[in-house]
Amino acid sequence: MPIQQPPPNTGIAGQGVSYPLAYTPQGRLALSWGDQSINDALVSILHTAAGERAMLPDYGAKLGEFEPVDLARLAAKFRLDVRTYEDRVDTVDVQTTLGDMPGQVILTITYTTKADATERTLTVGLFAYTGVSSG
């Protein structure tokens, strides 16, 4: 079986394991390239629980750590993790709002990569514990 090759235009974004984890029909881990690889990495940070990665105990947004969930602290922790663990991102801004459903948090992440100054936007919905606070 040939190994998946990234498209030639992936540049600094490169490739990574897709998130959430998935397998190809050949049974290999699915990969993502370019902007999708960076988006996958950012969503991984948001979905990782406190202490979930034994070798990187500080990795992750730690959504349940701040009860009631403090959106300002969540955004600050996410920005710190992006600076620490995602070298391909140059600037990141996070806007948090409460969704229509109880406990729903909507994060609008605007970022640029070190490869270029093009602003990209990623919107992610999460569910937090009840008692969410807007900070």
Q: What residue spans define the domains of the chain?
A: 11-127
| Per-residue model confidence as pLDDT tens digits over 60-119 | 876 665 556 678 888 888 999 999 999 999 999 999 998 898 888 899 999 999 988 899
Mean pLDDT in residue range 33-57: 90
| Torsion angle of C-alpha atoms 21, 43, 130, 105, degrees rounded to 10 | -140
Phi and psi angles of residue 10, each rounded to the nearest 5 degrees, phi first: -75, -25
Whether the pLDDT of residue 57 is over 80: the answer is yes
User: What class does CATH assign to 11-127?
Assistant: alpha beta
pLDDT for the residue numbered 130: 47
Whether the pLDDT of residue 58 is over 70: the answer is yes
Mean pLDDT in residue range 2-13: 64
Whether the pLDDT of residue 135 is over 60: the answer is no
pLDDT for the residue numbered 38: 94
Between CA 76 and CA 116 the distance in angstroms is 24
Please state, rounded to an integer, the average pLDDT across all residues of the chain.
Answer: 84
